[in-house]
Amino acid sequence: MESEFAIFTLQFSFFNFFRLYFSYAPFYLLLMPLREWKLARRSLPYGERTLVMGVLNVTPDSFSDGGQFFSLDNAVAQGLLMAEEGADIIDVGGESTRPGSEFISEGEELRRVIPVIEQLAARISVPISIDTTKRTVARAALQAGAEIVNDISGLRFEPLIADEVAKAEAGLLLMHSRGTPKDMQQLPPVENILAEVTAGLRQSIAIAEQYGVKRSSIAIDPGIGFGKTVQQNLELIANLDRLVRDFADLPIMIGTSRKSFLGKLLGGAPANERLPGTIATVVASVMKGAHIVRVHEVKTAAEAARVAVAMRQAGYFSH
């Protein structure tokens, strides 16, 4: 009898933990309006369900897949697979941004990404994003068929990326980050990460608009892992609903997939063993209002996000 009571108490405690954790999400998250993110050749609806951005690293040294898709054939095959699995966007990147990584030349980055973008754009209807911080790469990728530029520097490295986006009337994803990939994990942590991220994103948005990018073409990303501690990453996920409120007219993306803070939370798990942690953060982010999740395992994340949206819309974990 005592053991049964203990089990009941434990189950009740876990239930209440999640109920209380999510109960602070504002009621408007339950009925998020359907809106549109303006891209180069279409508008992408968001709000009714969570969109999934598939990660396609065309690099020999990515932290997450170690060059698995470095060849053109493998990269295109993976892009096609992600489209079949339900990706709403495919994000092609040719330069690793893992902690400690060095920048590569424009020529090398172009050689890696442009053939992949050209082939995918000709074979799938899913919009393609270019993950770059270089103006020339952004311009060439947009000409090759990409419709979104994903800038992890939030225009800090090359503000003129915004000029290329404005000319193409493309989508622009602005991420908050600190320092550069080479030194970001050596920077001292800021005291108030939410205030830092909010201020940084506002500055990036202002720069984009100065160059003529329409606000309806901008999306934002708080930049999990980029110059943040493990605790700060968790804090940003837990307070994502505040960013949704503060940037109510913009789609918000979150990318936690396979990142090192998950490895630390999971006892040193390597990147290829972080899927359970990734899915936990995907569900938490969706419950807190994320419009887009950026992931490596598209099918699994899409299914988890679908269930989380259904629970949110049904009123679970809410006042």
Q: Measure Cα distances from 65 to 78, 204, 240, 255 in Å.
A: 12, 30, 28, 16
Is the per-residue pLDDT at 184 higher than 80? no
Q: Note whether 118 and 72 are within 8 A (CB).
A: no
pLDDT of residue 33: 67
Best-predicted range by mean pLDDT (32-46, 85-99, 111-125, 181-195):
111-125
pLDDT of residue 15: 44
Q: Is 259 a catalytic residue?
A: yes
Annotated catalytic residue, options 98, 259, 274, 312:
259
**What is the average per-residue pLDDT within 182-203?**
89
Q: Is 49 a catalytic residue?
A: no
pLDDT of residue 61: 59
What is the per-residue DSSP string for 9-21? HHHHHHHHHHHHH
Residue ranges and CATH numbers for the domains of the chain are 33-250 (3.20.20.20)
Annotated catalytic residue, options 156, 178, 288, 294:
294
**What is the average per-residue pLDDT within 88-104?**
84
pTM over 0.75: yes
pLDDT of residue 101: 60
At 1, is the pLDDT very low, low, confident or very high (cuts 50, 70, 90)? very low
Tell me the pLDDT tens digit for each residue of 102-143: 789 999 999 999 999 999 999 999 999 999 999 999 999 999
